Amino acid sequence: MLAHVLGLTRLRLYLEFDRPLGAEELARFRALFKRRLSHEPLQYILGETEFMGLPIEVDRHVLIPRPETEVLVEHAVSILTRGGGKVAGTVLDIGTGSGNIAVAVAHLVPSVRILALDVSAEALAVAERNIRKNNIANVALHQMDVLQDPLPAGEYVMILSNPPYVPAEDFWELEEEVRIFEPRVATTDEGDGLKFFHRIFELASCSLRVDGWVLLEIGFGQSGPVREIAGQSGYRDVQIIPDLAGIPRVFCARQQA
């Protein structure tokens, strides 16, 4: 926070450890420190975080991108670039939030187009700023309620999503930083945590290209239920990819030909 207030890198801050603070600098630092004491996440206080090496603006209208979601992006990129080819087609990002997934995939696989959806106009405004911040030209944004509205017409080569998967009964057990400050609509489906998975596979059945892929971030203990939902929809080549903590985190399946 102090480096942010002074406009210095952390290394430069250490090198200037004996630099006195001006009254205005001290006041700004105290204001940020007070916010952190209330458990507000540091990323919201600073207004930015890093995802896949890219700067991503965040505010309280969007979830804070996490390292676990990088596993989703890494696997998506490995599929899209398999064999060294350049995939052409459109990738769908459902519930884009800050746009971190769309921006990262678009940056790493510039041959694809990405359509990023979100129900929140405020979240889409943040995503738009992140598209500009990272000079991304192959992402389009669209506001819609994926639980109610039909998808924009088209055939998609891949569907990606980090949906609200926390069950309503577990929401109050989340740490304060998440429960109080991050958007509830992006955290829980207000049900059993599986509502969006049912809907995504329903939408995929009529919009995903033959042999297209669905990659989803899932919560603890959800790999079995999501596998069952996918199986009922005729998906094959199912893979469950763990995060760095060894927790099953990414569900990956291919459309049945």
68 alpha-carbon distance from chain centroid: 9
CB 190 within 8 A of CB 124: no
| pLDDT at residue 123, as a whole number | 98
Q: 13-70: per-residue pLDDT in tens?
A: 788 778 888 888 888 889 889 989 999 999 999 999 999 999 999 999 999 999 999 9
Strand partners, 117: 94, 142
Strand partners, 50: 55
For the chain, helix (H) and strand (E) counts, in that order, are 11, 9
Q: 141-155: per-residue pLDDT in tens?
A: 999 999 999 888 888
Most confident of 79-88, 89-98, 203-212, 228-237: 89-98
Cα dist. 219→50, 102, 135 in Å?
22, 20, 32
What pLDDT band is residue 10 in, cutting at 50, 70 and 90?
confident
Domain-wise residue ranges, the chain: 2-37, 63-255
Domain 63-255 has CATH 3.40.50.150: yes
216 alpha-carbon distance from chain centroid: 10
